[in-house]
C-alpha cells in the first residue's frame, strides 16, 4: 500500500480522476532497493509494472555465466510494460545501481489504469513508440558493421524477439483498450460514441485528404467545439478531423447533451477523441515494431548469419538487402535504376563479404551525388564471371587522384566523414578473397565501378 497523496505527485498518474487515487492506493506496493539489489530477474514472469520514483536501475543481460549491461532506467520513468502486456518473461535482469524507490502495480491494476486513465495509456504507448524508434535508430547506426556475422547474429536475436513480442503485445493491448475505453451502449450518448468509433475504424483504409483540406476541417471543428464549450477544442480538433469526423458526425452528440451542459459535452468529445488517439498510437507503435522486424530480417540476410562462410550466393538478393540496409541514408532526390540479368546464376562466394562490397560502392556513389542524381546497378555474365556494375552520374573522379582511390586511408571527404578504407576493403574482398577483379572508369557525369566475381572459385574448377 502507498499513500494516495504520494501517488498524486507521480507525473505518470496526473490524468487519473481524483476519486480513483484512494482505490489505487490500496493496490499499489512501495518497493525500496539498496544498491546491488535485484528487482527483476531475467526469465521471470508476472512481475508487474514498476514506476521508478527515485534512483537508477541497470538492465543486465545474462548469457550463461557472463553478464552485459543492456541499458539503464533512471527516475522518473517506468518499466515492465512489455512483459505485463504480453505475459512473456522479462528479457533482462533489473538491478539497483543506486538506492531506489518504486511503485509496483500488478497486472490487473495496470490494465484497469489503461482503461480509466487516457493520459496513462498515451504515455505508455508513446513510450513504446519512442523506445522502438530508438532501437531502430541503433540498428541503423550499426548497419555498416552488420556484415560481421557475430554482430548480426546478436543484433537479430536481441532485437527481433522484443519486436515480435511488442507486436503481439500491441495486438493484445488494442483489443483490451478497445473493450475498456468503449462506452456502454446502455445510454444514448454511449451508443452514439460507439457508432462513431465504428465509423472511424471503417474509414481507416480511405486515402488521406490533402494538407489544405485537413487544415480547413480542423479549423471548422475547433470553432464549433469552442462554441459548444469544449475547453481543449484546439487539441481535440486535429484528432477528430484526422479520423475523418465532420460537424455532421458530431452534431448528434451535441443534441443528446442537456442544453447548456458544456462539461458533459466536453467530456463526451474528450472520451471519443481519447479512444481514437489511443487506437492511432497503438497502430503507430505496431508499425514501428514491424519496421524493426523487417530491418532485422534484411540484416540477417545481408550478413549470411547462421550459414557456412562460403555458399551459393544470389547476387541480386544481396544487392537488394544492401539497398534495404542503406534506405535510411538514401536521399529522396537520388533515383536507383536496376538492370539485372535474370539469367545470372548463383556464385560460390562469401556472401556477407560481397554485401560489404556493394555497401561500400553504393555509399561512395551516394556521397558523390550528395542530394540528387541517379545510381544504376547492372548485372551480367561474362564467361565464367558474374559482373556487377555500379554507376552514378555525379561529377566524376579527378584524374589526379584516380590511381589512389583504392589506397588504404585515402579519402577526399572532410575529416571525420570517412575512413578512406571503403574501396580498399572492397578491393581486398574481391581480389584476395574471391580471385575476382574490380575496376573504375570515370569522367564528368559518369563514374562506373565494375566488379567481376568467379561463378565458381578457382579451387572448385580444378578439383
CA torsion, ordered 355, 360, 366, 368, to nearest 10 deg: -150
Widest distance between CA atoms in the chain:
93
Question: What is the model's pLDDT at position 340?
Answer: 96
Residue 386 has pLDDT above 60, yes or no: yes
Residue 241 has pLDDT above 70, yes or no: yes
Regarding whether 83 and 25 lie in a shared domain, the answer is yes
Residue 157 has pLDDT above 80, yes or no: no
Res. 141 pLDDT band, cuts 50 70 90: very low
Of 306, 330, 350, the one marking the end of a domain is 306
| Nine cell digits for residue 456 | 565458381
Give the residue numbers spanning the domain of 417. 309-461
Regarding whether 150 and 269 lie in a shared domain, the answer is yes
Regarding whether 318 and 213 lie in a shared domain, the answer is no
Regarding whether 124 and 98 lie in a shared domain, the answer is no
3-state helix, strand, coil in the chain (%, to 5): 50, 20, 30
Say how far apart CA 8 and CA 109 lie, in whole Å.
16
Rounded to an integer, the average pLDDT of 147-160 is 54
Of 272, 306, 340, the one marking the end of a domain is 306
Of 44, 79, 113, the one marking the end of a domain is 113
> pLDDT tens across 291-303, in order?
677 667 666 666 5
Say how far apart CA 65 and CA 388 lie, in whole Å.
46
Rounded to an integer, the average pLDDT of 87-104 is 88
Say how far apart CA 102 and CA 79 lie, in whole Å.
10
pTM here is 0.43
Regarding whether 101 and 62 lie in a shared domain, the answer is yes
Non-local (6+) Cβ contacts of 348 within 8 A are: 310, 311, 312, 313, 455, 456, 457, 460
Give CA separation, 219 vs 8, 215, 242, in Å.
Answer: 35, 6, 12
Say how far apart CA 348 and CA 204 lie, in whole Å.
48
Question: What is the model's pLDDT at position 100?
Answer: 94
66 C-beta neighbours (distance < 10 Å), count: 7
Regarding whether 149 and 123 lie in a shared domain, the answer is yes
Instruction: Write the DSSP string, 356-385.
Output: HHHHHHHHHHHHHHTTSEEEEEEEEEETTE
Res. 104 pLDDT band, cuts 50 70 90: very high
Res. 418 pLDDT band, cuts 50 70 90: low
Mean pLDDT lowest among 164-178, 321-335, 436-450: 164-178
Question: What is the model's pLDDT at position 32?
Answer: 94
Regarding whether 342 and 291 lie in a shared domain, the answer is no
| Nine cell digits for residue 457 | 572459385
Better-predicted residue by pLDDT, 255 or 33: 33
For residue 14, report the phi and psi dihedrals to the nearest 5 degrees.
-65, -25
Rounded to an integer, the average pLDDT of 335-352 is 91
- Say how many domains are in the chain: 3
Res. 39 pLDDT band, cuts 50 70 90: very high
Regarding whether 244 and 356 lie in a shared domain, the answer is no
| Nine cell digits for residue 96 | 539497483
Question: What is the model's pLDDT at position 142?
Answer: 42
| Nine cell digits for residue 41 | 530477474
Regarding whether 124 and 106 lie in a shared domain, the answer is no
Asked whether the beta carbons of 74 and 158 are under 8 A apart, the reply is no
Regarding whether 260 and 216 lie in a shared domain, the answer is yes
Say how far apart CA 451 and CA 24 lie, in whole Å.
66
Question: What is the model's pLDDT at position 143?
Answer: 47
Q: What phi-psi label fits residue 445: left (phi over 0), alpha (psi between -120 and 50 degrees) or beta?
A: left
Asked whether the beta carbons of 75 and 118 are under 8 A apart, the reply is no
Better-predicted residue by pLDDT, 152 or 4: 4
Rounded to an integer, the average pLDDT of 201-222 is 76
Residue 257 has pLDDT above 80, yes or no: no
Res. 441 pLDDT band, cuts 50 70 90: very high
Residue 383 has pLDDT above 90, yes or no: yes
CATH number for position 328? 3.30.565.10
CATH number for position 19? 2.60.120.10
Residue 316 has pLDDT above 90, yes or no: yes
> pLDDT tens across 48-67, in order?
899 999 998 888 777 666 56
Regarding whether 360 and 424 lie in a shared domain, the answer is yes
Rounded to an integer, the average pLDDT of 11-19 is 84
Regarding whether 335 and 449 lie in a shared domain, the answer is yes
Amino acid at each position: 500500500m502507498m499513500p494516495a497523496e504520494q501517488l498524486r505527485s507521480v507525473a505518470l498518474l496526473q490524468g487519473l480522476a481524483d476519486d480513483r487515487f484512494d482505490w489505487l492506493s490500496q493496490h499499489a506496493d512501495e518497493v525500496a532497493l539498496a544498491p546491488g539489489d535485484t528487482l527483476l530477474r531475467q526469465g521471470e514472469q508476472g512481475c508487474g509494472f514498476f514506476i521508478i520514483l527515485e534512483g537508477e536501475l541497470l538492465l543486465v543481460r545474462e548469457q550463461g555465466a557472463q553478464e552485459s549491461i543492456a541499458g539503464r532506467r533512471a527516475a522518473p520513468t517506468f518499466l515492465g510494460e512489455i512483459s505485463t502486456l504480453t505475459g512473456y518473461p522479462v528479457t533482462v535482469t533489473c538491478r539497483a545501481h543506486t538506492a531506489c524507490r518504486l511503485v509496483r502495480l500488478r497486472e490487473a491494476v495496470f490494465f484497469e489504469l489503461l482503461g480509466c486513465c487516457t493520459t496513462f495509456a498515451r504515455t505508455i504507448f508513446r513510450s513504446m513508440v519512442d523506445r522502438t524508434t530508438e532501437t531502430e535508430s541503433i540498428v541503423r547506426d550499426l548497419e555498416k558493421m552488420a556484415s560481421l556475422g557475430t554482430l548480426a547474429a546478436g543484433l537479430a536475436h536481441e532485437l527481433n524477439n522484443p519486436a515480435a513480442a511488442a507486436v503481439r503485445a500491441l495486438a493484445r493491448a488494442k483489443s483490451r483498450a478497445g473493450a475498456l475505453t468503449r462506452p456502454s451502449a446502455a445510454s444514448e450518448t454511449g451508443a452514439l460514441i460507439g457508432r462513431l468509433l465504428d465509423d472511424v475504424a471503417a474509414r481507416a483504409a480511405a486515402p488521406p485528404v490533402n494538407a489544405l483540406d485537413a487544415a480547413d476541417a480542423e479549423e471548422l471543428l475547433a470553432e464549433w467545439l469552442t462554441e459548444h464549450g469544449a475547453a481543449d477544442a484546439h487539441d481535440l480538433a486535429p484528432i477528430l478531423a484526422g479520423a475523418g469526423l465532420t460537424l455532421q458526425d458530431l452534431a448528434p452528440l451535441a443534441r443528446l447533451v442537456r442544453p447548456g451542459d458544456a462539461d458533459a459535452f466536453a467530456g463526451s468529445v474528450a472520451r471519443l477523441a481519447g479512444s481514437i488517439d489511443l487506437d492511432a498510437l497503438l497502430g503507430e507503435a505496431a508499425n514501428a515494431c514491424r519496421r524493426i522486424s523487417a530491418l532485422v530480417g534484411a540484416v540477417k540476410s545481408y550478413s549470411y548469419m547462421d550459414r557456412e562462410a562460403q555458399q551459393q550466393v544470389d547476387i541480386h538478393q544481396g544487392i537488394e538487402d544492401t539497398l534495404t540496409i542503406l534506405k535510411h541514408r538514401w536521399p529522396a532526390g537520388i533515383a536507383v535504376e536496376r538492370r539485372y540479368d535474370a539469367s545470372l546464376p548463383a556464385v560460390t562466394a562469401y556472401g556477407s563479404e560481397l554485401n560489404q562490397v556493394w555497401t561500400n560502392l553504393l555509399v561512395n556513389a551516394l556521397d558523390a551525388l550528395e542530394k540528387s542524381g541517379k545510381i544504376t546497378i547492372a548485372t551480367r555474365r561474362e564467361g565464367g564471371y558474374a559482373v556487377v556494375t555500379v554507376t552514378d552520374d555525379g561529377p566524376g573522379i579527378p584524374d589526379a587522384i584516380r590511381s589512389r582511390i583504392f589506397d588504404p586511408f585515402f579519402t577526399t571527404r572532410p575529416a571525420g566523414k570517412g575512413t578512406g578504407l571503403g574501396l580498399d576493403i572492397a578491393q581486398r574482398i574481391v581480389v584476395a578473397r574471391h580471385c575476382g577483379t574490380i575496376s573504375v572508369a570515370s569522367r564528368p557525369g559518369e563514374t562506373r565501378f565494375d566488379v567481376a566475381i568467379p561463378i565458381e572459385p578457382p579451387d572448385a574448377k580444378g578439383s
